[in-house]
Structure 1
Amino acid sequence: MFKRYLIAGLLVWLPLGVTVLVIRLLVSFMDQLLVFIPLKYQPETLLGFNIPGLGVVMAVLIVLITGIIVANFFGRQLVAAWESLLGRIPLVRTIYHSVKQVAVTIFSSQGKSFRKVLLIEYPRKGIYTLAFQTGDAVEEVKQKSGKNLINVFVPTTPNPTSGFFIMVPDEDVQVLDLSIDEALKMIMSLGVIVPGGKGNPVIQEATQELSAALRGEKSDKDSK
């Protein structure tokens, strides 16, 4: 009984606490951007008092205004000139174009990366793991390997932001009927949260009671 209530409480406060902590860190980081504004033009100097989170608002406005500018022909010409300038700096060129390619891949509605959850045998035959297809291998790699390879990202547990990039023949992968969110939940929970499965009975019971309480309903145990 005590363990079940403890887990139910953790399911409420742990995600909430982590969310608040991340938001505070982001707000604090964004507020630091105000130091680039001359002191006499800073909002705190003009208004006479500090407004927490103003850096976030300004950052969003800057990004929005930038998007409006680059959406027209003149803005695209400015971006092209800026990228041409950065392309002449060896180290900056590599970092900038790599980050831009990742950003375009993630935010593009036409991108195929992280759209499929795969089941592959890794790190050896007979052992299976979840992975994400990030695209198709380059033609040169396909020609030299003689196989139709696809790019695969194998995330680590419990931190799926790190992992391994491998190229696997398409005949050696199985596409799963799982969403990206469901696969990430399995990975981050060390397999405790299984879509459509029972999972850990204690956590499942606590989760059911918490969901019932949030809906204003009685749990199965209380209704008995």
Structure 2
Amino acid sequence: MSRLRKYLIAGLLVWLPLGVTVLVLKLLVDVMDRTLLLLPAAWRPDIVLGFHIPGIGLVLSLAVVGITGVVVANLLGRRMVAFWESFLARIPLVRSIYLGVKQVVETVFTSEGKSFRKVVLIEYPRRGTWCLAFLTGTGLGEVQARTGQDIVAVFVPTTPNPTSGFVLLVPVEDVRELDMNVDDGLKLIISMGVAVPQWTEQKEGEHQDADNNDARSPETLNQLT
């Protein structure tokens, strides 16, 4: 019985990730294909070609996004975007939604945004219990002025879905930086702690230096950015 259980688990380890990947890709293709319904009926590929091509919506969407990127990369395109954004900024509800989404997209997809800078540990939800988090912001202005402390913003994701979570504002001396990169941190979250990244233990002298750095001074705060 134990051998049968072992074989079943081994089979699941092969097929389950593959099946989930296929389902996610199929969902993405189906969603993008539905965007073709926004086109006039006479312009839809199914009508023009006379048959359905799975994934053509995804291809056309990527083409539109790519062409848009080429257009807005030049001076004229940037001016058009600036004019469009100034128009949207005058509409109260639309302004809040558009600017909020734009800021999130810029943070996640552009190098200037530096969405997740480092993987860190914080003691949460109580002392002695450690939680994996991602450093997202430093130099929080009013927050630091009001608290009289060096404060950093960290994002604590949920598992296995790291796109949800919450932001904590914690003193920098309570943050311990890890050696793992952001990708490894996300894998650890998504796998519910199963996919632990490889780590080579440092020498004793390096450990002492790291421990000294844990007492975060204002100068050390800059190293977190």
Match of 2:22 in 1: 20
Say whether residues 1:107 and 2:109 are aligned partners: yes
Q: Distance in 2 between matches of 1:94 and 1:46?
A: 39
**1:52 alignment partner, one of 38, 51, 54:** 54
Q: Distance in 2 between matches of 1:158 and 1:46?
A: 42
TM superposition shift of 1:68: 0.3
Q: Distance in 1 between matches of 2:191 and 2:177?
A: 21
Matched ranges for 1:116-195 at <5 A: 116-195=118-197
Q: Structure 2: any 5+ residue segments left out of the alignment?
A: 200-225
Q: Is the 8 A contact 1:137 1:167 kept in 2?
A: no
TM superposition shift of 1:17: 0.8
Question: Please, what is the CA RMSD of the aligned residues?
Answer: 1.5
Q: Distance in 2 between matches of 1:73 and 1:28?
A: 36
TM superposition shift of 1:84: 0.6
TM superposition shift of 1:15: 1.0
Higher mean C-alpha deviation, range 110-119 or range 14-23? 110-119
Listed one character per residue, the Cα deviations across residues 94-148 of structure 1 (whole Å, up to 9, x for unaligned) are 1111111111111222333212100100111111110000111521111111111
TM superposition shift of 1:185: 2.4
Listed one character per residue, the Cα deviations across residues 27-84 of structure 1 (whole Å, up to 9, x for unaligned) are 1111111112111122122211111111001000000000000000110011001111
TM-score, normalised with respect to structure 2: 0.83
Higher mean C-alpha deviation, range 127-136 or range 43-52? 43-52
Match of 1:202 in 2: none
Aligned residues: 197
% identical equivalent positions:
58
Say whether residues 1:34 and 2:36 are aligned partners: yes
Which amino acid is the alignment partner of residue 123 of structure 1?
Answer: P
TM-score, normalised with respect to structure 1: 0.83
Which gives a bigger RCO, structure 1 or 2 (Cα 8 Å, sep 6+)? 1
Q: Do the aligned partners of residues 113 and 40 (structure 1) sit closer, same or farther apart at CA in structure 2, a change above 3 Å counting?
A: closer
Say whether residues 1:94 and 2:96 are aligned partners: yes
**1:77 alignment partner, one of 69, 79, 83:** 79
Listed one character per residue, the Cα deviations across residues 154-213 of structure 1 (whole Å, up to 9, x for unaligned) are 11222222111111111110000112222222222322232238xxxxxxxxxxxxxxxx
Q: Do the aligned partners of residues 36 and 190 (structure 1) sit closer, same or farther apart at CA in structure 2, a change above 3 Å counting?
A: closer
Q: Distance in 1 between matches of 2:198 and 2:49?
A: 55
SS at match of 2:97: helix
Q: Distance in 2 between matches of 1:174 and 1:195?
A: 17
Match of 2:204 in 1: none
